[in-house]
Structure 1
Amino acid sequence: MSTGRPVALVTGASRGIGEAVAVRLAAAGHDLTISARGADALASLASRLRDEYGSQVAVCVTDMSAEDDVRRLAATHREAHGRLDVLVLNAGMGAIGRFADYPVRRFDKMFAINVRSAYVLGQELLPLLREAGAATERGGKIIAVASMTGLAGEPLNSAYGATKAALISWCAAVTTEESLGGVVATAVCPGYVATAMTEGLADSVPLDTMIPVDDVAEAVASLTRLSRRTVVPTFVLARPGRHTWRA
């Protein structure tokens, strides 16, 4: 159960942005629950967070497309910590393709992972976030890693962008309902980030113009340091270049 330290749950924590966020939050004094599909990577990260930062870490291997798994993740977190200050919704699926022939089945799975899982997990853990909102200066934080494609249309991103736009809208609506009680939600919206998900874009988007993973992790971590009286609906991170509003 809770040690009195702030507690965070980070989804998609086995690599990339989620791993970097988990490390930063542990370094800042958080206990954590981390989830992803890869058991070995999660176990390795948990060991590192315990050894280097003294964090209490719960691990839950989770398929975010499966509702039962998402609810089990919430139950695992409640049992392990009994408290939640920061919910980082980082798990996501990305797959590009032309709208004209994009497989609807793939879109359905992407929506389940990128949006529906956030909705379900947020509902499950809202009581704990409300407790943090009422009892702590920083309140309860929901931070969803969305995308610039949810704000500005991009070729080949009709499906992915639509899911991220839904996530952005959900964060805004949750904030309107919950912020007076100290729970605020922010959608962090970067352009292309240099992760495994974007490796296939190297021919069209040079790697040295992509946003570093650590910059996104710092953006997420910075939001956790704000008081509950400050609302940041969206946090946009753009890449350098002539056109700001592009992924």
Structure 2
Amino acid sequence: MTVHRSALVTGGSRGIGAEIARRLAGEGYHLTLAARTLDTLAETARLLREEFGVEANPVAARMNDLDQVRDLVQAHADRFGGLNALVLSAGTGTAGRVADMQAKTYERMLDVNFRAPITLVQAALPLLRKSAAEDPARGAKIIALASITGVAGEAGLAAYGATKAALISLCETVSLEESGNGVSATAISPGYVDTDMTAWKHDELDPSAMLRTGDIAEMALAVTRLSRNAVIPNIVLTRAGDRMWRARATAIETPGTGYAACVSR
């Protein structure tokens, strides 16, 4: 009987998450894909099923609703029974000065970028440990999409960068606590990646100068192929140029508010 690996990918309907899901499907992983909008998610799942012949189960879930987050893990458990890779790709960001940022702005980033990931990890650990025991060569992997702003601070991105720094720290600590059980966690911390979420930067940063979604997906796929003995806390991907540790973010202020929507992936 063939045993298929499975993965749960948040933010899986488009951009980096969709590309990671595609690479995993190419490796034969069955998938649970999560995002806010079911229509887009269902279409991504359909394409993966048709191209690779894997199961791809779309589950709509809002990352700022922790009950939905827990239900997402249960839906994966009900469908696949185990979990070889948990990919935390969903994220949100807003640029703005610390002095001016409203509480509701950074609270949403905390919800989506940190509370949801730690809740997912907590809910998924029993499944990850089970799959790690069944695959003692590779173990099970957690891969979290952080940001280079979580490694080096960037003016205008304090709250966003802080949530990503927390995510990086979470991955390292999970590995310290769980790698003995075969479960390790890796953060991937890129600079700007050319997706529709970074289209607002095109006036000052040409898309050709940005990282590609495939660059990030390649790193994620490499992590899933490592033995259980190899633990990588964080992978930083910077764009070519003379500001290696900076995302080169410039907040575009909304008049009268002092902050503006942005993302750094």
Task: Indicate the TM-score class for this superposition, using the shorter chain for normalisation.
Answer: over 0.9
Aligned-pair CA distance for 1:230: 0.2
Moved >6 Å (runs of 4+): none
Distance 1:240 1:208 in 2: 11
Superposed, 1:47-196 pairs within 5 Å as: 47-136=46-135, 137-196=137-196
State the distance in 2 between where 1:203 and 1:47 align. 34
Structure 1 spans left out of the alignment, 5+ residues: none
Residue 51 of structure 1, CA deviation:
1.3
Cα displacement (A) at 1:66: 0.4
Q: Kindly provide the CA deviation profile for residues 90-120 of structure 1, in whole angstroms up to 9, marking residues without a partner as x.
A: 0000111111101111100111001100111
Aligned partner of 2:103: which letter?
V
How many percent identity over aligned positions?
48
SS at match of 2:241: coil
Aligned equivalents of 1:36 and 1:3: distance in 2?
29
Counterparts of 1:242 and 1:94 in 2: how far apart (Å)? Answer: 25
Q: What secondary structure, in the 3-state scheme, does the structure 2 residue paired with 1:188 have?
A: strand
Q: Are the aligned partners of 1:94 and 1:197 in contact in 2 as well (CA < 8 Å)?
A: no
User: 1:214 deviation in Å?
Assistant: 1.1
Q: Partner amino acid for 2:113?
A: N
TM-score by length of 2: 0.90
Larger fraction in helix: 1
Q: CA deviation at 1:3?
A: 6.2
Q: For residues 212 and 95 of structure 2, what CA distance do their matches in structure 1 show?
A: 21
Shift of 1:195: 1.3
Q: Name whichever of 41-50 and 163-172 sits farther off.
A: 41-50
Gaps of 5+ in 2: 248-265
Aligned-partner SS, 2:96:
coil
Cα distance in structure 2, aligned partners of 1:54 and 1:199:
32
Report the 3-state secondary structure (helix = DSSP H, G, I; strand = E; otherwise coil) of the residue aligned with 1:96: strand
CA distance in 2, matches of 1:148, 1:172: 16
Q: CA RMSD in A?
A: 1.2
With 196-205 and 41-50 compared, the bigger mean Cα shift is at 196-205
Distance of aligned partners of 1:106 and 1:156 in 2 relative to their CA distance in 1, 3 Å threshold: same
Partner of 1:200: 200
1:6-33 Cα shifts (integer Å, max 9, x gaps): 1000000111001101111001110000
Correspondence 1:3-42 to 2 at 5 A: 4-42=3-41
* Residue in structure 1 matched with residue 260 of structure 2 by the alignment: none
Q: 1:147 touches 1:161 (CA, 8 Å); kept in 2?
A: yes
Taking a change above 3 Å as real, the CA distance of residues 3 and 122 of structure 1, as seen in their structure-2 partners, is: farther
Alignment of 1:235-246 (within 5 A): 235-246=235-246
Q: TM-score, normalising length from structure 1? A: 0.97
- Provide the rounded CA distance (Å) in 2 between the counterparts of 1:128 and 1:3: 19
Pairs aligned (count):
246
Cα displacement (A) at 1:74: 0.9
**Matches of 2:30 and 2:127 in 1, distance apart?**
15
Tell me how far 1:204 sits from its aligned partner: 2.9
CA distance in 2, matches of 1:230, 1:130: 16
CA distance in 1, matches of 2:90, 2:183: 21
- Any idea what SS the aligned residue of 1:235 has? strand
Q: Distance in 1 between matches of 2:242 and 2:83?
A: 41
How far is 1:202 from its partner?
Answer: 1.9
- How far apart, CA to CA, are the structure 2 residues paired with 1:48 and 1:203? 32
